[in-house]
Structure 1
Amino acid sequence: MNQSSTPQVPFWAHLLCGWPLFLVAVGGAVGGGLGGLAYGISISIFKTNVPMPVKIIAPVFIGMAAVVLYFVIAVAIFTAIQ
């Protein structure tokens, strides 16, 4: 079998990194884009050699940043429509 050079990410890490994907249900395309971006960044950090506490804390803050950015964009769109 051919082994990949990238480290395998456990299932629980996908759950931890993927929580911002709920923005798809809340925010449609904008939320999906931000949630997917946050997931991608979090998984890429999880594949690095940083200490485990950083791998656990970083996805939480990255996801929170995506949620805040979503609300900033939503308010900007709402203001532009008014």
Structure 2
Amino acid sequence: NMVSNLMVKCHLIRLLVVVMMHLTPFFSETGAGKHVPRCVFIDLEPTVIDEVRTGTYRQLFHPEQLISGKEDAANNYAR
């Protein structure tokens, strides 16, 4: 019984390693062992990014991932 429990634990650890290997392209691990999405938010207009900075999920993203300008493009788009 003890051997079967050990085998189950080893199997679960192997599964966890496989899952973690598949997560690394999409998440990075912080020094505290927390996984955060690999993404960057960029917007010329700051209010949308400020909503992320101050909203419910603010602790999910690193401040360096939230990039905003000081004013929007005023609907002027380069062609």
| TM-score (norm. length: structure 1) | 0.28
Whose RCO is larger (CA < 8 A, sep 6+)? Answer: 1
Taking structure 2 as the reference length, the TM-score comes to: 0.28
Higher strand share: 2
When you count helix as a share of all residues, which structure comes out higher?
Answer: 1
